[in-house]
Amino acid sequence: MRRPLLVANWKMNKNRAEARAWAEALVNDLGPDPAAELVVAPPFTALETLSTALSGSAVQVAAQNVASAAAGAYTGEISVPMLAEIGCRYCIVGHSERRALFSESDQVVSAKAAALLEAGLRPIVCVGESEAERKGGQTAEIVGRQLETSLPAMETPAAGDLVVAYEPIWAIGTGVTATPGQAQEVHEFLREGLRKIMGAGAEQVRVLYGGSVNPENIESLMAQPDIDGALIGGASLEPESFRQIVANCHLENSSS
């Protein structure tokens, strides 16, 4: 059974004081035993603040990016050991904003995911097609290639540590969510792709949906058999809205 995973991706939002306030408000209102595993990915500058503020709570911290090298002459980069030291358990890699705005290739994403897995951290590898690609009937081709080439080339991938996120670019920050049916169709395709890549381990990989997830649509998305959680941008910035998403994410819907 795959435990549902909800990840708040703050992108480039919130300073440390705001991060602390979010953590306090969320932890106060969160029930004792949420059905889903909960993770928040703040900017690097708030990671340690959140790691401290959330210690002992059900919420773990993640980074939004990482370097593939462990140390050295890489000005402006942050390495996997640095994230581990701060208490990061997860890290998003290959978000469409990084692919589009910072020219990250599938190969770069794959190297980052490999570095994370080797150190025992859990990569959240993002894939997703643009609106033009969907309209051109290329969704399967695009996400299939991204999956195949963005996953780390490892002999035995630690499948339970690997997370894939399907984030259709046309649904990110637009308020237009993929319908549960549209999302399930791609998630099923990704699961099949994972089976070809890693065999039985594919059943352990959590595949998250991202793109305008909110408290109203989370339940119908989670009811799909191959949707194991969500990567949430805008609706995760307010603690109450994230808490409602957590409350509306029911464990029995996403088990397999």
- Residue numbers at the binding site for ligand 13P (CB under 6 A): 9, 95, 167, 172-173, 210-213, 231-235
Strand 37-41, strand 59-63: pairing: parallel
Dist CA 219 CA 11 (whole Å): 24
Q: Is 187 a catalytic residue?
A: no
- CA dihedral defined by 34, 35, 40, 41, rounded to 10 degrees? 170
Percentages helix, strand, coil for the chain, rounded to the nearest 5?
45, 15, 40
From CA 155, how far away is CA 58, in angstroms rounded? 32
95 is catalytic: yes
- Do 105 and 93 meet the contact criterion of CB atoms below 8 Å apart? no
- Cβ closer to ligand 13P: 26 or 198? 26
Backbone angles phi, psi at 59, to 5 degrees: -105, 130
| Comparison of 42 and 211: residue with beta carbon closer to ligand 13P | 211
Please report how close the Cβ of residue 210 comes to ligand 13P at its closest, in angstroms.
4
Please report how close the Cβ of residue 72 comes to ligand 13P at its closest, in angstroms: 29
Residues 137, 180 contacting (CB under 8 angstroms):
no
Shortest Å distance, C-beta 171 to ligand 13P: 6
* Structure letter (DSSP) for residue 60: E
Please state the closest distance from residue 136 (CB atom) to ligand 13P, in A.
22
**Nearer to ligand 13P (CB atom), residue 54 or residue 172:** 172
168: three-class secondary structure by DSSP = coil
Q: Which two tokens stand for residue 134?
A: 């969907």
Q: How far is the CB of 155 from ligand 13P (least distance, A)?
A: 30
Catalytic residue among 97, 129, 167, 187: 167
- Catalytic position from the list 24, 95, 141, 148: 95
Residue with tokens 């939004």: 64
N-term to C-term CA, the chain: 5
Q: Which is nearer to ligand 13P, 146 or 198 (CB)?
A: 146
Among all residues, whose Cβ is closest to ligand 13P? 233
Residue 162: helix, strand or coil by DSSP?
coil
- Looking at the Cβ atoms of 106 and 167, the one nearer to ligand 13P is 167
Which residues are designated catalytic?
95, 167
